[in-house]
Amino acid sequence: MKNIIFFICIVLGMNLEGASFLQLDRKCNHGDMPSCFQLGMLFESGETVRLDFAEARRYFERACSAGHMKACISLGDMYERELGVEKNLAKARTLYEKACRGGDGEGCYCIGRLEENDHHIHKALERYDQACRKKFAIACSDLGVMYDFGRTVKKNAALAYKYYSAACKLDNINCSWLGNAYENAKLGVEQDDAKARYYYEKACKGNSAEGCYKLGNFYYYGKKVRQSYRKAALYYRKACRMGGFGTAEGCNNLGVLYRRGRGVKKDQRRAVKYYKKACSLGYVSACRYMHGK
């Protein structure tokens, strides 16, 4: 009886339709581990159900024990970040290792992060490389950054290019790094605007604000393309709507176009709107135009 009441309370405490929750729970109880994992994610986030780390852990444990690697990673994260359980890095590492051995690159990456936090840089690099080879794009991108800027390792342009290329192949959002390399003759490649634009286009399609912003610049200045303020505005607008590096720049440049009436109808109010957003994101020069000056 208590179990029935508890189950009813769970359903009534959700914003998600009860039928959807019941369907996931029914699939989970019939051995569908992705459904168990999804239920764990719902309870961990508290976005569509009440926040309940104990329930999240229960579902993650069930899925992980049945070989669902993402559930093992999520369970490890709970022990690492002390989410409803006592902090236990050894247990977190064991769970990440299980996922890594099971073929999930994210598990290898998480171990690398633990190693880096403990200042075991060589071991961290090995784990990040392992994660990259298992097609976890973030690991490839992070390695590229480490070798590009000499973050905890000696700068190495060839390795930076190698890992950026791997990251770009796995996820277009990472292609901006290669665009920058070709635009600015970095990482041992010659300056090539055509290749730079190619990679910025890929990055923009992958929802990279930087890719869209840089692509907008190509159309604004007519670099290897026919100059078009209208297309520049299109890409600046896309960048402004996204998050991350390039968002503030996109908003600022869109403000410039509205202030000058290039590619869009001149509109001081909209110009100020975009300058304000750019300013709030830390783009200092945009702050001068916030009041329409």
Q: List, for residues 94-152, the tens digit of each pLDDT value.
A: 999 999 999 999 999 999 999 999 999 999 999 999 999 999 999 999 999 999 999 99
Give the residue from 277, 235, 272 showing the smallest Cα distance to 256.
272
The 10 Å Cβ neighbour count of residue 108 is 26
- Domains and their CATH numbers in the chain: 1-97 (1.25.40.10), 103-170 (1.25.40.10), 190-293 (1.25.40.10)
Mean pLDDT of 210-217: 97
Q: Is the pLDDT of residue 277 over 50?
A: yes
For residue 45, give every residue at least 6 positions away whose Cβ sits within 8 Å of its Cβ, in sequence order, or none. Answer: 51
- Res 3: pLDDT: 43
4, 12 Cβ separation under 8 angstroms = no
Q: Is the pLDDT of residue 14 over 70?
A: no
